[in-house]
């Protein structure tokens, strides 16, 4: 019997001896994933050991037995859930849920819920964003570590929305400069009845680029309007649940309403009502 597994097993560490790993299927790492290395799988990724400042990209889910100590360069992206003992100093984006015991100094996005309900159940430092719900025992720290929690809008939509704004601004600036250049060249042509070959080429390529910019702007405007409608229709949903304590200085955003905690809050659910964030019991 020939058995072809769609799971690639790495018996030890992903590091100098293995190089980066790219696999069409799932990857099971028995050791650690060392700083600077990448594991990219179309299926799931399982890591028995620790993950350092490495990059994990999975079409399915990512499961870390121990956790990721990202040292500022750690990165995880999954089409599905991300389950990890802890997440520290990393950038994380999940198409599903994120389930962990501690989230520290990380930039975290999940399309579904973020559940930090383990033994420690701690979110301290960084930015944690979910479309639906964030649950944790502890938010922030007694030292006032800057911690941002955001729910109610798909974070990826928000990021793309702002990205398009920036792109359109840059294209608009480029268009203005091109129009000025073309105007100068046209005036010159009018005055002397001809243009040097390189100036003629400049005029031609300038006009071609203008057409190109208009085409791109049309496409971006369409996407921008669609995203605007999505964001508008999804606002107001989402909640943040803190089972133990939320410390002073924690920044809470539900849809587009933001509040900073000016005092400690215990056992509370934060929801949006109109233009305010209301605190309810757990």
Domain range annotation of the chain: 7-155+237-281, 156-234
What's residue 34's pLDDT?
98
- Which range among 74-83, 200-209, 228-237, 266-275 has the greatest average pLDDT? 74-83
Interatomic CA distance for residues 164 and 168, integer angstroms = 6
CATH architecture for segment(s) 156-234: Orthogonal Bundle (1.10)
User: How much of the chain is helix, strand and coil, in % rounded to 5?
Assistant: 25, 40, 30
What's residue 274's pLDDT?
79
Residue 243: how many CB atoms within 10 A of its CB? 18
Q: At what angle do helices 155-192 and 197-234 cross, to 10 degrees?
A: 150
Of 145, 129, 136, the C-alpha closest to 269 is 136
pTM of the model: 0.80
Work out the percent of the chain whose per-residue pLDDT is above 70: 97
What's residue 59's pLDDT?
97
Alpha helices in the chain (DSSP H): 155-192, 197-234
Kindly state the average pLDDT of the residues 230-249: 86
Interatomic CA distance for residues 165 and 41, integer angstroms = 32
Cβ partners under 8 Å of residue 126, min gap 6:
103, 104, 105, 106, 107, 108, 147, 148
């Amino acid at each position: 019997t020939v058995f072809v597994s769609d799971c690639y097993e790495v018996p030890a560490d992903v590091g100098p001896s293995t190089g980066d790993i790219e696999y069409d299927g799932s990857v099971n790492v028995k050791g650690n994933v060392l700083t600077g290395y990448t594991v990219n799988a179309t299926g799931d990724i399982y890591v028995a050991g620790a993950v350092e400042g490495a990059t994990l990209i999975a079409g399915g889910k990512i499961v870390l037995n121990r956790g990721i100590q990202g040292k500022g360069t750690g990165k995880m992206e999954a089409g599905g859930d991300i389950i990890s003992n802890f997440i520290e100093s990393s950038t994380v984006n999940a198409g599903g849920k994120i389930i962990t015991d501690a989230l520290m100094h990380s930039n975290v996005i999940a399309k579904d819920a973020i559940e930090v309900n383990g033994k420690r159940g701690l979110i301290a430092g960084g930015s944690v964003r979910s479309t639906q719900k964030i649950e944790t025992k502890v938010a922030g720290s007694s030292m006032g570590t800057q911690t941002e929690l955001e729910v109610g809008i798909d974070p990826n939509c928000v990021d793309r929305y702002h990205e398009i704004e920036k792109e359109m601004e840059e294209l608009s600036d480029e268009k203005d400069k091109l129009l000025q250049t073309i105007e100068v060249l046209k005036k010159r042509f009018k005055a002397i009845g001809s243009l040097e070959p390189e100036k003629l080429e400049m005029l031609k390529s300038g006009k071609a680029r203008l057409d190109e910019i208009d085409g791109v702007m049309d496409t971006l405007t369409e996407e921008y309007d669609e995203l605007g409608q999505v964001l508008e229709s999804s606002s107001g949903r989402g909640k943040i649940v803190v089972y133990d304590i939320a410390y002073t200085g924690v920044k809470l955003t539900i849809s587009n309403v933001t509040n900073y905690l000016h005092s400690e809050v215990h056992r509370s659910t934060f929801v949006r009502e109109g233009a305010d964030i209301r605190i309810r019991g757990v």
